[in-house]
Amino acid sequence: MAKTAKGAKAAKKKQKLDLTTEEKIRKAALKLFTRKGFAATRTRDISQEAGINLALLNYYFRSKEKLFQLVMVEILQNFFRGMAQIFNEETTTVEEKVKRFVENYTDLLKQQPDLPLFVFHELRMHPEKLAARTGLNEMFKSFFFKQLRQEIESKAITPLNPLHYVVNMIGLCVFPFIAAPLLKHLSGMDDTTFGELMEQRKTLVPRWMELIMHQG
């Protein structure tokens, strides 16, 4: 009986240690992926940041790609939880929701410039899986979509499929970050100037969306 209790205690201690080590690795990976990007971050860098040896990191996470995927899905989950609150708020207008979406999404992409390519890859390979894990599918059942349909029916905004509005809104936010290396090269912009340009788009994109919504 004593051996059983001792074994259970040891197992519980190991489980707690495992969770602590995993959390250290996740936090270290998030910090380095954010600061350096996926390509420039080495597994050795992550292990050093987490204060563990490389073999232990490989024990918990088989590859940098696997760790990147876990970290990015976690970021997306947190982001879409925040978006769900914005989209399901019944006291704000469509225009106000667009403005808050653009601001939040731009801030996220400035912090995680590798995120769009990760999302596009996952959507191409595993669309159902990614949508289910991040809560993305709930966006299409939100009060925001109900508002768009109501305004289309009442002709308060241009009668288009609501998806056109959402695709345009996301595209206007995402494309500059996907094209960032080319844009910087062609224009001679540095990271600071590019960041300032993206800040300006927080104001510009909602204006452009309003023009699209009231084009005729």
Question: Could you read off the pLDDT of 87-112 as tens digits, one per residue?
Answer: 999 999 999 999 999 999 999 889 88
* pTM of the predicted structure, to 2 decimals: 0.74
Q: What is the pLDDT of residue 194?
A: 95
- Look up residue 4 and give its DSSP letter: H
Token code pair at residue 32? 């380095």
Q: What angle do CA 71, 43, 110 make, to 5 degrees?
A: 45
Residue 170 is given by DSSP the state H
pLDDT of residue 121: 75
Which residues in the chain come in under a pLDDT of 50? 8-11, 13-17
Residues 205 and 189: their CA atoms lie apart, in Å, by 21
Residues 87 and 3: their CA atoms lie apart, in Å, by: 55
